[in-house]
Amino acid sequence: MANKKASRESVLQSRRRAVANGLVRSALRTLAKKLRMAISTQSPDAKRIAIDYVSCLDKAAKRNVIHRNSADRHKSACSKYVFG
């Protein structure tokens, strides 16, 4: 553990951020799995799930949880299978 108070606060802050970012990443992975299942079974809910997934990707990129190019790449692949 760090010695200075500011360093200790920084460590705690980064742990809190890591937990929050992990929740967002987990939600992204869950939505991606749901979308893959919906596409493979040709479910009518695929379009709704894709919209939720794209929205979640945009929010994650806006909050710097994932890189914006990564979000764009996933959105492109998603739209290719659902809307194209």
Instruction: Tell whether 11 is covered by a domain.
Output: no
- For the entire predicted model, the pTM comes to 0.85
Which structural domain range is residue 81 located in? 28-84
Instruction: Tell whether 50 is covered by a domain.
Output: yes
Instruction: Tell whether 33 is covered by a domain.
Output: yes
Query: Digits of tens for pLDDT over the chain (84 positions)?
Result: 678 999 999 999 999 999 999 999 999 999 999 999 999 999 999 999 999 999 999 999 999 999 999 999 999 999 998 887
| Domains held by the chain: number | 1
Per-residue three-class SS string for the chain: CCCCHHHHHHHHHHHHHHHHHHHHHHHHHHHHHHHHHHHHCCCCCHHHHHHHHHHHHHHHHHCCCCCHHHHHHHHHHHHHHHCC
For 59, the token pair is: 């929010």
Q: Which of 68, 33, 25, 26 is CA-nearest to residue 50?
A: 33
Instruction: Tell whether 3 is covered by a domain.
Output: no
Instruction: Tell whether 67 is covered by a domain.
Output: yes
